[in-house]
A and B are shown apart, each in its own frame.
Chain A
Amino acid sequence: MPDNHLIRMVDVSMNFGAVRALENANFTVDRGEIVGLVGDNGAGKSTLIKILSGVNKPSSGEIYFDGRKVTIHSPEDARKLGIETIYQDLAICEELSVWRNVFLSREIKGSVWLNKEKMKTETTEALKTLEIKVPSLEQKMKFLSGGQRQTVALARSLYFNAKVLLMDEPTAALGVAESNALLQMMLELKKRDRAIVFITHNLRHIFSVVDRLTVLYKGRTVADVPKENTTIEEIEALIVTGNSSLNVPKTVLEASDGTDKKHF
């Protein structure tokens, strides 16, 4: 079967002891595309993201990257493929300065010692390409605003040439203006041919930027629809019930068959 997807996850399941966090979930990401990944708490969004970013290993299922079957055992593996994760707060070392955060685990070394000057200049450059302003490169991250932290994380992933950005609730801690700035930045990244997986509970934010939406319900993929073919109301229904009374694509009906009955 021809595979034009950048990422394709096939029948991925994940068990935590007796709990099935993901059950034969399917998920695809194309080049230069923003995909919204939505679902209620516990639907498996974060589990799926953690599998892609190498933090968790799936119990079963296959992952293809660029048409090639891959196994992602560690965050390092994910990054080597070009998958970068931007967590809301998790992936920031608050006590560390801006430039240390950008280069943590990928430090630039001279012949013996770390080349701090080079890392600082490179950080400045990376921030400049996204027109990001921080008070000082030596500033500890904990003294930056939520939006500034996100943008530093973005600059980091761009600097290291990420092909896919996984963004888990990137707007959750942001104010209105900062959220809008971040959404703009996501569109800008898309123009540069980066794919983005956007996870959020805020459907307004999702609908303003995504090309396609994938809905998870109790660990299963219950819908995968282009934005034009759906509405906020329909997505809401899918998130809450795993089913939709509106114009439902075929894949949705098939997948939601076994899951919606106990709700009615």
Chain B
Amino acid sequence: MQAPAHSKILRKVWSIRELSILIATIAVGFFFYLGNHIFVTPYNLSIVLMMSSDVGLVAIPMALLLISGEFDLSVGSVYALVPIIANVMYKTVLPNIWITSIISLLMACMFGLANGLLTVKVGIPSFIVTMGTWFFFGSLALIVSGGLPQGIPTTSFYNLGGYVTISGLPFAVEMIWLAGTAVLFYLILEKTRHGNWSMGTGSNKMAAIMMGVKTNRVKIINFMLTSLFAGLLGILDLSRMSATTPTQGTALTFEAIAAAVIGGVSLSGGAGSIIGTLIGSILLGSIYNGLILIGAGYYWFQGFVGAIVVIAAVINLRVAKARGSNA
């Protein structure tokens, strides 16, 4: 049976996983451009990307974790707790913010290790484990900080996550971190054995075990990476804002999962794309920024994100079908 030419092309388009979400992001950008031309100026686009990093730096490692079949709801609290630890240590015992940052990031890895061990060794579903640690780390952030925002009396590490001026234009350093993270995780997922094992583990754990994949190790590594990057984002934001709040990051967990899902990551594991997750993060950053520029404000943000998550899920379903019938 000969399919008409246009439907063939359409199916080809559907079959490129990241294309649909890219088109959606461009369409949303164009919509905001119509509302306020400032949206596409280089300066504003750098702000969009900075805001995208605030989701993407967690969404991208989360994507790898989701692909290997697990959740991490605790990232929001880790994001709040890690910079507080760095800051309090800096102010009390170790007056070098770089060293205290590194120590607190190592602790972030331990938080991830705890999530991982509780999930794979004790056998509690990661949804429950990380809901528990979300509460726990959130509480720790309040206890350690005394519940108050913590200013940091140094600017010596502002360049880590703040802005630098390049030929007169401010340039958000977090963009570099986002790009670097995306490249790193793209390589891990697509070019390393760990990436292949993550897909296998998430797709069919028993099968992967029988084929010789060390699924527990795969999951624990991914829990640790996710936690590490949640902590890193906290440190970068501490650098940029010179302050940290114990209650920050309440929305981060679901924004990160939303960005991954929008980007085509399967919540049941086994499949997903780092590039898609990056674009999903940029889409969220665009909506956040664009709504402010057109004067609608933040209250609309979650409504938009919610609608887009559902639309993206429908699109991804069609993409999956097209990929199945295509080749």
Contact (Cβ within 8 A) B210 A93:
no
Residue on A nearest B272 in the bound complex, by CB: A95
> Which of A105, A107, A109 has the most C-beta atoms of chain B within 10 angstroms of its own C-beta?
A105
Contact (Cβ within 8 A) B200 A138:
no
Listed by A's residue number, 24 A-B pairs whose Cβ atoms lie within 8 Å are: A53-B210, A55-B210, A75-B211, A75-B212, A76-B212, A91-B206, A91-B210, A92-B207, A93-B199, A93-B207, A94-B204, A95-B199, A95-B203, A100-B196, A100-B200, A104-B196, A105-B200, A112-B191, A113-B187, A114-B192, A136-B327, A139-B327, A142-B324, A143-B324
Residues of B within 8 A of A104 (CB): 196-197, 200, 208, 211, 213
Minimum CB–CB distance from A115 to chain B (whole Å) comes to 10
Alpha-carbon distance A138/B212, docked complex (angstroms): 22
Q: Does A243 contact B (CB under 8 A)?
A: no
Q: Does A263 contact B (CB under 8 A)?
A: no
Minimum CB–CB distance from B81 to chain A (whole Å) comes to 34
Contact (Cβ within 8 A) A95 B270:
yes
Q: What are the 3 closest A-B residue pairs judged by CB atoms, nearest first?
A: A95-B270, A105-B212, A95-B203
16 further A-B pairs in the complex, CB-CB below 8 A; given A92-B207, A107-B193, A143-B324: A75-B212, A90-B206, A91-B210, A93-B203, A93-B270, A94-B270, A95-B269, A100-B196, A100-B199, A104-B211, A105-B211, A105-B213, A114-B191, A135-B327, A139-B324, A143-B325
> 0/1 per residue, A182-198, Cβ < 8 Å to B?
00000000000000000
Q: Does A212 contact B (CB under 8 A)?
A: no
Alpha-carbon distance A12/B98, docked complex (angstroms): 60
Alpha-carbon distance A19/B31, docked complex (angstroms): 66
Contact (Cβ within 8 A) A75 B209:
yes
Residues of B within 8 A of A81 (CB): none
Contact (Cβ within 8 A) A87 B203:
no
Which residues in chain B, 144-189, are within 8 Å of chain A measured between CB atoms?
187
Count the A residues whose beta carbon is within 8 Å of the partner chain — how many? 32
**Which residue in A76, A90, A114, A140 is a CB contact (below 8 Å) of B196?**
A114
Residue on B nearest A106 in the bound complex, by CB: B212
Please give the residue numbers on chain B whose beta carbons come within 8 Å of chain A beta carbons, in ascending order. Answer: 187, 191-193, 196-197, 199-200, 202-204, 206-213, 266, 269-271, 323-325, 327
Which residues in chain A, 96-119, are within 8 Å of chain B measured between CB atoms?
96, 100, 103-107, 109, 112-114
Which residues in chain A, 112-149, are within 8 Å of chain B measured between CB atoms?
112-114, 135-136, 138-140, 142-143
Q: Does A79 contact B (CB under 8 A)?
A: yes
User: How would you classify the secondary structure of chain B's contact residues: helix, strand, loop or mixed?
Assistant: helix
Residues of A within 8 A of B211 (CB): 75, 91, 104-105
Residues of A within 8 A of B271 (CB): 95, 140
> Which of B187, B206, B211, B271 has the most C-beta atoms of chain A within 10 angstroms of its own C-beta?
B211
Alpha-carbon distance A79/B202, docked complex (angstroms): 22
Residues of A within 8 A of B204 (CB): 90, 92-95
Q: Does A85 contact B (CB under 8 A)?
A: yes
Please give the residue numbers on chain A whose beta carbons come within 8 Å of chain B beta carbons, in ascending order. Answer: 53, 55, 74-76, 79, 85, 87, 90-96, 100, 103-107, 109, 112-114, 135-136, 138-140, 142-143
Contact (Cβ within 8 A) B200 A93:
yes
Alpha-carbon distance A104/B201, docked complex (angstroms): 10
Alpha-carbon distance A91/B200, docked complex (angstroms): 10
Residue on B nearest A105 in the bound complex, by CB: B212
Minimum CB–CB distance from A243 to chain B (whole Å) comes to 35
User: Known: A105-B197, A113-B187, A114-B191. Contact between A94 and B203, CB under 8 A?
Assistant: yes
Residues of B within 8 A of A140 (CB): 271, 323-324
Minimum CB–CB distance from A94 to chain B (whole Å) comes to 6
Minimum CB–CB distance from A59 to chain B (whole Å) comes to 21
Minimum CB–CB distance from B201 to chain A (whole Å) comes to 9
Minimum CB–CB distance from A87 to chain B (whole Å) comes to 7
Residues of B within 8 A of A109 (CB): 193
Minimum CB–CB distance from B13 to chain A (whole Å) comes to 17
Residue on B nearest A79 in the bound complex, by CB: B212
Residue on A nearest B268 in the bound complex, by CB: A95
Alpha-carbon distance A105/B200, docked complex (angstroms): 9
Contact (Cβ within 8 A) B210 A90:
yes
Residues of B within 8 A of A105 (CB): 197, 200, 208, 211-213
> Which of A76, A79, A87, A114 has the most C-beta atoms of chain B within 10 angstroms of its own C-beta?
A114
Minimum CB–CB distance from B38 to chain A (whole Å) comes to 42
Alpha-carbon distance A90/B211, docked complex (angstroms): 10
Contact (Cβ within 8 A) B203 A96:
yes
Minimum CB–CB distance from B240 to chain A (whole Å) comes to 33
Residues of B within 8 A of A76 (CB): 212
Residues of A within 8 A of B324 (CB): 139-140, 142-143
Residues of B within 8 A of A135 (CB): 327
